[in-house]
Amino acid sequence: MENDHFDDEQCLALLGRAQLGRIALSLRALPVVIPVRYTRDDEDLLFTASGEELSRALHGNIAALQADGYEEDSGQRWTVFAMGPVQRVEGVERLGMIARSLPWLPSTAMGEDGLFRLKPAVLSGRWMDPL
């Protein structure tokens, strides 16, 4: 493929079409990758994570979210990465997100699960070679 890499606008558009991804971060100096459901909120990505240790590792640190997809009309697969700082969503902002009834937001987000916002500082994506 001649131009197999995406610009930031294309990356954000594709991230908006997927709902499942993986968050990669460092936990006690070891790499950790966990599957997450997420949604776009303008140019940011919102997701939930459970567990106190994981929540502490995410808040205020840099993480990466990767999502993949498939274009049925062309048969091509794509992958997109978003890397940037993560902040816990709390207070009035959290209540507003829950009040909007985001379809992917689990009922546990009202309780123990943390709701997080990743602000992409770096976006990267490309078409994947066929198998």
Which domains does the chain show, CATH number per domain?
A: 8-125 (2.30.110.10)
In this prediction, residue 1 carries a pLDDT of: 46
CB 42 within 8 A of CB 72: no
- Average of per-residue pLDDT across 2-6: 78
Q: How crowded is residue 80: how many other Cβ atoms within 10 Å of its Cβ?
A: 24
User: pTM of the prediction?
Assistant: 0.83
Convert the pLDDT of each residue in 73-103 to its tens digit. 888 899 999 999 999 887 655 556 554 545 5
Which three-class secondary structure string do you get for the chain? CCCCECCHHHHHHHHHHCCEEEEEEEECCEEEEEEEEEEEECCEEEEEECCHHHHHHHCCCEEEEEEEEEECCCCEEEEEEEEEEEEECCHHHHHHHHHCCCCCCCHHHHCCCEEEEECCCEEEEEEECCC
